[in-house]
Structure 1
Amino acid sequence: MIYGIGTDICDVRRIAASLERHGERFAEKVLADGELATWRARSARWPERGVRYLATRFSAKEAFSKAVGLGMHMPMTWRACEVGSLPSGQPVIVLHGALKEWFDAKGLQAHLSVTDETDYAASFCVVEKIQTK
């Protein structure tokens, strides 16, 4: 059964401006540790790719927060929600701490899709209640 649906579109230029204004602190606020390491590596090789990576993670977390109905209110925090990848490349939501406990207690499962183009990153998230027999 569908618990919630969330979508978000993010202007990559806005993320670039935030990085310019606040520096790495902005990325440290939004990204979990694993994401931060990936962002740093991508940014070092190709800065534009690093900005798009950050924009897709920002968008995915916004979409997830909408799908679970919390917005950016506890236990939902930027760093408690991580966007990982399966070996196939499919993006997945990985939760930590109180957010993971809340999500698991409700018996929920998330499905995520992310995409980006030059100026925009977009995400779509469906959260479902796991059926128990």
Structure 2
Amino acid sequence: MIYGIGTDVCSIARMGAAVQRNGDRFAQRVLGDGELAEYERRMAKVRQRGINYLATRFAAKEAFSKSIGLGIHSPMRWRDCEILKLPSGQPVIVLHDALKDWCEARSLRFLVSVSDEADTALAMVVAEVTRPD
């Protein structure tokens, strides 16, 4: 059963401007440890790839927060929701701490899709209840 659906669109240029103004502080505030390692790897290779990555993760976290109906309010914290990927490349949501507990208490699982093109990053998240009430 679907619990909620969230979508978000993010300007890649806006993410680039945030990085330009604040250095990596913005990424460190928004990305979890696993995401941050990938962001730094991409930034070291091609700066734009790192910014695109940051934009897709920001959009996915916004979409996630909409799918669970909380917005960015406790227990939803930026770093407690990571959008990582399986070896196949499929993106997955990995939760931590109170956010993980909150979602487990509701028997939620998530499907996520992210994409970027030119100056736009897009994400969609479907939250499903894995057991009937």
TM-score range with shorter-chain normalisation?
A: over 0.9
Identical residues among aligned pairs (%): 56
Matched, 1:42 2:42: yes
Q: 1:106 — aligned with what?
A: 106
TM-score by length of 1: 0.97
User: 1:1-133 counterparts in 2 under 5 A?
Assistant: 1-132=1-132
Q: Kindly provide the amino acid, as one letter, of the partner of residue 130 in structure 1.
A: T
Q: Which runs of 5+ in 1 are unaligned?
A: none
Aligned CA-pair RMSD: 1.0
TM-score by length of 2: 0.97
- Determine helix, strand or coil for the equivalent of 1:79: helix
- 1:131 positional shift: 2.3
Q: Which runs of 5+ in 2 are unaligned?
A: none
- Taking the aligned partners of 2:130 and 2:118, their CA distance within structure 1 comes to 36
- 1:118 positional shift: 1.6
- Runs ≥4 in structure 1, deviation > 4 angstroms? none
- 1:88 positional shift: 1.2
